[in-house]
Structure 1
Amino acid sequence: MDQKAGISTNENVTVQKKHKLSAEARKEERAFWIFISPWIIGFLFFTGGPIIASLGLSFTNYNVIDAPKFTGFENFANLFNDKLFYKSLTVTAYYVVLAVPFSIIVGLALAVLLNQKVKGQAFFRTMFYAPSIISGVSVAFLWSWLLNPDFGIVNGLLSDLFGIEGPGWFTDTKTVIPSMVLMQLTAVGGTMVIFLASLQSLPAELYEAAAIDGANKVKQFFKITVPLISPVILFNTIMGIIGSFQVFTQAYIITRGGPDWMSYFYVLYLFDTAFGQFRMGYASAQAWILFIIIFTFTMLSLWASRKLVHYEYESK
């Protein structure tokens, strides 16, 4: 009887502990939902809700003033017969092909340089990162002045130092996209910081062993550094693709799509359709086509990287 009573008492204590723990867990759960609720409410009203609404509007003819009229797939059919759709998509693709590798290479190069132990390291890191947090509008005005073919400082230096006439930059159809890509130098600080963080997490003993085996710095970089940070390279590449497909501010502020539509990016076309022509249904269809394109390229990047990306803790 005593043994049974002891067992029963232990079970009661265990049950009480479980009830106490579950009460604490419920309290923590309530706190979690309270703290995360501002983000959830903001997402539903300002992101999730508009996304769902745009999907519905993409099947309608809607001009903001009149009620939406259901048109089925008419917007998508018209879009694939629209010359400006293909022109803007071609311009954007050209920019992506140049801007993404450019940003990755420059960002990684800066991260490697700023990872060296030199005097004033913190100052140089801050100096190279700071421009990436400046407003895109301010950056656009700055670059439009720097690369102005008539009074810009860049062409002035080319003329004074080398005696050559600078290009038209944003006013020439051949150089407008490369000029936009050059502007990416201002925004490469975020990519650089991510690369820098990954470089600082690499084990020093690997480099010491490689140095003992006679590997120079170049071999160490390509045989050790690049494979170990390949997941970070993949991440920055995907983020670069997503960001490059959505480029807008530079073209809107500096060129307005010119010259000769050579900087008429897809998002600029979407903006003109929605807020210039008030064809919200057509613009919603454009937005969903852009989503499908970005999603496809993201999935292709992940698929293509399976044999190129090295994960340290991969299961054997």
Structure 2
Amino acid sequence: MTIERKAPTGILGFPVAPFKANGKLDEKALERNVQFLIDGGLTSIFIACGSGEFQALSKGEYQAMVEVAVSVASGKVPVYTGVGANVSQAIEQVKLSEDLGADGYLVLPPYLIEGEQEGLFNYYKAILESSNLNAIVYQRDNAILQLETLQRLIDYPQVVGFKDGYGNMELIVEQTQTIGDRLEWINGMPFAEITMPSYVPLGCNTYSSAISNYIPHISRMYFKALLEGNNQLVRDLYVNVLLPINRIRKSRKGYAVSLIKAGMEIIGLPVGNTVRSPIIPVEKEHYQALEQILKSAFEKYPVDNKEVSH
């Protein structure tokens, strides 16, 4: 079988890991989450990644999440899985993802250790060599790749994309402008809509969107306005929706995940406000503030599902 060496583009969907009140994974709620993202026009599903509380999942839960995503997506959009933490675990997850029919995987940083460039190269290399599936390399935290290291990694045809969650513009300029269109460049910064105007001129046509779990129509409206140069609409969306949500997100550690679940609950998706330690749920004051932002957003920018197409 010939594998198309192409990464997903556009706005990427990152589902959460919905938990019941008893702490167990809620697969039905996850089905709704994935379907909502697909219905909302997102171009792909990235399952069991950071938004999906990768760090807190058991092996069985991880498998269940991948199975749900592949089943619901049913070939309509590609499904990528999160793999990482340590080499042996990542290789197991890659093989499981392949067996379950995923289209590719996103390599998350190694657990805790800040390695030299040669060590980082060997971490990614071992994972890449375990499978022929498409892979996206993720740069953030303790996995920051200098240009030479990334150039060595792209000798592997499996590497189809590069996701930046670090935000060093000097480094990302060097990477994007030297390597060019060999890779799909993905803005993976927390709340990527905030920084996307800096990434687009560098060739980044793709980003991961947390808010698409509850307001995908705003993400689509924002990205379309940005690409078309509709600066007034971009500014209005920043002032009325994006920046106010971002201020709440930054007020507590872990809100990058728990605020997604709060937003989903507010719009009626059955995920509850339950997260796993060390993440904390959204506090009442912040939950109510998010409610008001979303109420105003839906009034100012109503959903138009006719815009959605795959």
Smaller-chain TM-score bracket: under 0.3
Q: Flag the structure with higher helix content.
A: 1
Q: TM-score w.r.t. structure 1 length?
A: 0.25
Q: TM-score w.r.t. structure 2 length?
A: 0.25
Greater C-alpha Rg? 1
